[in-house]
Amino acid sequence: MLFGYICSVPLTPVPAMITTGQKITTQRTAKSRLQETDLEHIKFGRVFSDHMVVMDYTNGAWQQPAIMPFGNLQMSPAALVLHYSQTIFEGLKAYRNVNGGVSLIRPQANIARMNHSTHRMCMPSIPEDVFMDAMMELVRLDSDWIPKDDDAALYIRPFMFASDEYIGVRPSDSYRFIIFTCPVRAYYNEPVRVKIETNISRAFPGGTGEAKCGGNYAGALYPAKLGMDGGFHQLLWTDGLTHKYFEESGTMNVFFNVDGTLITPGLDGTILHGITRDSIIRIAKDEGIRVEERQVSVEEIEVAARNGRLRSAFGAGTAATIAHIQSIAFGDAVYELPDVSTRELANRIGKKLDDIRRGRIADPYGWVVPVI
């Protein structure tokens, strides 16, 4: 066994084949860190709640999942993931609703997407019911970590990595699946300034662009850093073949409001199948807004920006929610977009999505999954 936890749990999980409906074993933390955490002043991704789910894949089967105190991992320096990045992740949120309950939004979509990523990255898929049960139980256990106010939530981070102690290049035989959570507020604290990237590529047809795998993000760090050094929050990726068409932004999908029509790059295999993206499209259509999912050329948006038809643009993602775009740099030309208060369309869709999440209006889509 390669991995153990630097906390008081057995280093070797009990080998047992998973049968659905089994109770997840839970070892509670001896001392919660909640009392010493200031939930009102948390920064995104820096504060972690008390527990995590851990489940190992060994001998060709998923073993019994366990909930245990959040703690460090101990691993071999030869663990495959550390060398060849066979690792994937997901991101979703638990929201406190107006009745004091807690809900997840479309968790089945995240589970399905994770299993899509497992397929592309040659990893074993995760039994959906086991994933869902473990995640619900974890959120229930750490629900006091969800801040009470409306602009906060509990971010849930499921991930999985190759754990074989081996440095030959091949798919791992063993994996570890973990879910931990963190109370969060906004990912971006202000409207974002983005730069169109036309030199370095994030993805290519047939590549891993639509998988939520660590390598996609690692490869983006260098150009993103160059962008940040230039005063931009994020890049707007263009296609790897011609650099003429928009793909997505670093942490989110992207939407343009041109003359009241919402335009977003289609799912062509190189961009993430954003669940927030999909929710926005559904709501927008039901609000009578014209939506176009298709190839969106840089030229088209640049012309629209130049002649005042680009009314707004925004990014959409679990972490970012709806992130207004303040300005877009097309090479040396920077276009400032209208003030946030005029972004009626994005604000209207964002409010409806939030009202559904918070239980302020009925959920017509069947997206809300109550946890408590």
Name the residues that contact ligand COI, by CB under 6 A: 91, 251, 317-320
Cβ burial of 173 (10 Å; 0-12, 13-18, 19+) is middle
* Nearer of residues 81 and 156 to ligand COI, judged by Cβ: 156
Pair type for strands 291-294 and 261-265: parallel
Minimum distance from CB of 157 to ligand COI (Å)?
8
Minimum distance from CB of 220 to ligand COI (Å)?
10
38: Cβ contacts below 8 Å, ≥ 6 apart: none
Minimum distance from CB of 218 to ligand COI (Å)?
11
Minimum distance from CB of 90 to ligand COI (Å)?
7
Residue nearest to ligand COI (CB): 91
Chain-centre distance for alpha carbon 222:
20
* Nearer of residues 91 and 171 to ligand COI, judged by Cβ: 91
Q: What φ, ψ does residue 236 adopt, rounded to 5°? A: -105, 110
* Nearer of residues 69 and 191 to ligand COI, judged by Cβ: 191
* Nearer of residues 63 and 251 to ligand COI, judged by Cβ: 251
With CA atoms as reference, report the closest residue to 40 among 195, 146, 129: 146
* Nearer of residues 58 and 270 to ligand COI, judged by Cβ: 270
Token code pair at residue 38: 């200031």
Query: Do 367 and 279 touch, CB atoms closer than 8 A?
Result: yes
With CA atoms as reference, report the closest residue to 258 among 176, 368, 359, 338: 338
* Nearer of residues 63 and 253 to ligand COI, judged by Cβ: 253
Cβ burial of 205 (10 Å; 0-12, 13-18, 19+) is exposed
Minimum distance from CB of 148 to ligand COI (Å)?
22
Minimum distance from CB of 191 to ligand COI (Å)?
17
Minimum distance from CB of 155 to ligand COI (Å)?
7
Give the CA angle between residues 38, 44, 46 to the nearest 5°: 65
Rounded CA gap, 112 and 55, in Å? Answer: 18
Query: Do 34 and 77 touch, CB atoms closer than 8 A?
Result: no
Minimum distance from CB of 320 to ligand COI (Å)?
6
Minimum distance from CB of 243 to ligand COI (Å)?
23
* Nearer of residues 158 and 359 to ligand COI, judged by Cβ: 158
Token code pair at residue 263: 């335009």
Question: What one-character-per-residue DSSP string does 9-55 give?
Answer: S-SSPPP----TTPPPEE---SS-SGGG--GGGPPTTT---SEEEEE
* Nearer of residues 267 and 334 to ligand COI, judged by Cβ: 267
DSSP state of 339: P
**CA 42 → CA 37, 51, 319, distances in Å?**
8, 18, 14
Rounded CA gap, 320 and 299, in Å? Answer: 26
* Nearer of residues 258 and 316 to ligand COI, judged by Cβ: 316
Minimum distance from CB of 280 to ligand COI (Å)?
13
Query: Do 51 and 65 touch, CB atoms closer than 8 A?
Result: no
* Nearer of residues 209 and 317 to ligand COI, judged by Cβ: 317
DSSP state of 206: T
